[in-house]
């Protein structure tokens, strides 16, 4: 079996692939359009670029390699968009967790009101319900209010962790010198979001 590709003479990029079985008889090449040429390659070729802006070229030894044709600015734009998307997806997930029921919002409100009153007077049901549930541990309404607010504060901290990571990564991308640096920043940011997502799953209330 012989392997050939059709190559654009102007760009050097591979356009299509053909295989010919020598045992089947004489090789008859399809008509080559103007501005194209046939080049023998060492192995079958499947057009599956790493990114939409990669193009295939034929090396001197007949192997095929992919080259990145995008400008550094294109890489910046794509990375910043991806960073924003990753941050926004997790941010919305956190907000959904924080406000998934009216009960959670009211419990935080009651806890903040009780703390603002110096832990005096009648605490709201969002607090007293948690106190009754924790009676085996001897909790007071103050214990419940502090616990509810500590959990809420962890959610707010997580939101700011997401924001800090997103802003820092975008700024790093703007100052990166190469496409490789940009790709690494993007990958680190996405890994950071995955780590924060795991943290979100361990941040529970009541």
pLDDT at 110 over 90: yes
Provide the pLDDT confidence category of residue 94 given band limits of 50, 70 and 90.
confident
- Distance of alpha carbon 150 from its chain centroid, rounded? 29
| pLDDT exceeds 60 at position 178 | yes
Long-range CB contacts for residues 12-21, cutoff 8 Å, separation at least 24 = 12/57, 12/58, 13/55, 13/56, 13/57, 14/45, 14/47, 14/55, 14/56, 14/57, 14/58, 14/64, 17/41, 17/44, 17/45, 17/46, 17/47, 19/44
Query: Which residue has 């003479």 as its token pair?
Result: 9
Domain ranges for the chain: 2-68, 72-202
Tell me what pLDDT residue 203 has.
53
Sign of CA dihedral 151, 156, 158, 159: positive
Q: 101 and 111 in contact (C-beta within 8 Å)? A: no
- Among 18-32, 43-57, 146-160, the minimum mean pLDDT is found in 18-32
Average pLDDT over residues 104-117: 94
> Whole-angstrom Cα distance, residue 68 to residue 52?
9
């Amino acid at each position: 079996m012989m392997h050939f590709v059709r190559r654009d003479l102007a760009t050097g990029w591979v356009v299509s692939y053909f295989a010919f079985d020598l045992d089947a008889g004489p090789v008859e090449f399809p008509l080559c359009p103007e501005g194209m040429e046939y080049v023998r390659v060492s192995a079958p070729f499947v057009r599956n670029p790493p990114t939409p802006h990669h193009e295939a070229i034929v090396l001197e030894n007949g192997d095929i390699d992919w080259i990145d044709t995008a400008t550094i600015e294109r890489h910046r734009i794509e990375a910043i968009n991806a960073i924003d998307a990753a941050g926004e997806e997790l941010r919305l997930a956190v907000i959904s967790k924080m406000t998934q029921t009216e009960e959670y919002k009211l419990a935080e409100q009651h806890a903040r009101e009780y703390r603002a009153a110096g832990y005096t007077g009648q605490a709201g049901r969002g607090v007293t319900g948690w106190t009754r549930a924790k009676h085996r541990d001897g909790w007071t309404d103050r214990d419940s209010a502090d616990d509810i607010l500590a959990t809420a504060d962890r959610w707010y901290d997580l939101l700011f962790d997401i924001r800090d990571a997103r802003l820092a990564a975008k700024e790093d991308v703007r100052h990166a010198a190469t496409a490789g640096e940009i790709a690494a920043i993007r990958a680190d940011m996405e890994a950071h979001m995955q780590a924060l997502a795991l943290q979100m799953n361990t941040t529970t209330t009541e």
